[in-house]
Amino acid sequence: MDFSEFLYFTPRLDRAPDGERSRLSRLYKAGHVVRIQPSVYLDTDQWLGLSFADRRRSFIGAFGLTGKRSVLVGLSALSLYGVPLIQFDSPVSNLVNVGVNSVNAVRKRKQVSCYGNEQDAIARYNKRSTSNGSHVLPKPPLIRGQLLTPNAPRSLTFGSWEFPLLAEPLDIALTRSFHELSFEDRVVAFEYLLRRGQAHGHHWTHQKLEELALSLPDNRRRSRIQIAAKFSRTESESVGESMSRALMYRLGFEEPELQQSFQLPNGRIARPDYLWRNAQIVGEFDGAQKYTRSKTVSGKDAGQVVYEEKQREDSIRSMGLGMCRWGWNELMNPATFASLLVAAGVPRPFPRGRNV
């Protein structure tokens, strides 16, 4: 996992100049930086603009900068391995090595005060569309600790920082934590691993996921992994596409075909994300990166990409196919997403949803 995009400030680094601690204290009180770990700060505007997942990732990176010799486990380890998790909200879990004679003791940590100037932070936050006028500022996750026992799993080291991060092996992190996740998050994570294939010491296949499930003694946990693993595919090409399909299924909609190609009237080939063949409906997930990173990826500006997408959509509709689009805002609101699909005519054989 790379943390290079985060604007960390900390006097713990050897390169920190004299007086850095007092300078950071002044910046904190003025509201220019937030404190997300003891003596580790992040630019306030960057922190307020992060998604929940990226905010959590920045917190884990800051955890490494504190120099604590801990092993991240469960969902926290999955974040460190880069496994995408959309919806979960739980403490950062770690094992703390404080001696081989201590077993299963809980270590409590005082939460740092994130904002040195809350009124300034609220004013900054309310300028952002993500705040929806909220006066509830985002907070760093809590830390849930457990003492490292003699038979604890061997850890892996990430990064070449002065303070490396340690995490338990990926397969152990999966079996430890997946019962905590929604169906959508399980599918997102599994499809990510299946797309990667070889990752972090394992070859990820459906058989490997089944082996993980069978290693669990608890029937309920085993079933939650098996259901998501059986549903997962390699054809989904992004996190948003994976989550879209999983949410459709849970909400009771008919499963679409994925990435089906057909020729348009102008001779070009269309390959939409989803196709409900019997209903003659095409579905597309629109991630923001298609437009915000268009210049980098294709050399085209956002306006050109939007125009070409409109031309493509018109060609698809000219063939008598219905068309529906959605983005992250709809996915984060299942009721809105369901209404969009119903309005487009997508078949829904289970109106009350599926129990997954």
For every one of its 356 residues, what pLDDT tens digit does the chain have, with 9 covering 90 and above?
Answer: 667 788 888 886 545 566 777 888 899 999 999 998 888 899 999 999 887 778 888 888 887 777 666 778 888 888 888 888 886 666 566 665 444 333 343 344 556 688 988 888 888 888 875 545 556 788 777 666 654 444 444 555 555 555 667 788 888 888 888 878 899 999 999 999 999 988 888 899 999 999 999 998 889 889 999 999 999 999 999 999 999 999 999 999 999 999 988 887 878 888 889 999 999 999 999 875 554 443 443 455 656 666 566 767 767 877 778 999 999 989 989 999 999 999 999 999 999 999 98
Assess if residue 149 is contained within a domain: yes
Last residue of a domain, one of 136, 160, 181: 181
Question: Does residue 85 sit in the same domain as residue 171?
Answer: yes
Question: Does residue 120 sit in the same domain as residue 249?
Answer: no
Q: Which domain holds residue 307?
A: 239-344
The tally of domains found in the chain comes to 3
Question: Does residue 173 sit in the same domain as residue 193?
Answer: no
Token match 């679409």: residue?
Answer: 256
Assess if residue 2 is contained within a domain: no
How far is it, in rounded angstroms, from Cα 142 to Cα 33?
A: 19
Question: Does residue 174 sit in the same domain as residue 26?
Answer: yes
Assess if residue 356 is contained within a domain: no
pLDDT at 38: 83
Q: What is the CATH number of the domain that holds 317?
A: 3.40.960
8 Å CB contact between 342 and 348: yes
Question: Does residue 99 sit in the same domain as residue 43?
Answer: yes
Assess if residue 174 is contained within a domain: yes
Question: Does residue 287 sit in the same domain as residue 299?
Answer: yes
Question: Does residue 190 sit in the same domain as residue 277?
Answer: no
pLDDT at 70: 72
pLDDT at 226: 94
Last residue of a domain, one of 234, 252, 270: 234
Among 193, 194, 204, 185, CA closest to 234: 194
pLDDT at 108: 46
Question: Does residue 139 sit in the same domain as residue 200?
Answer: no
Question: Does residue 72 sit in the same domain as residue 171?
Answer: yes
pLDDT at 276: 96
Tokens of 63: 């955890």
Assess if residue 105 is contained within a domain: yes
Assess if residue 170 is contained within a domain: yes
Assess if residue 349 is contained within a domain: no
Question: Does residue 14 sit in the same domain as residue 155?
Answer: yes
Question: Does residue 58 sit in the same domain as residue 157?
Answer: yes
pLDDT at 206: 95
Last residue of a domain, one of 234, 249, 278: 234
Assess if residue 351 is contained within a domain: no
Question: Does residue 294 sit in the same domain as residue 222?
Answer: no
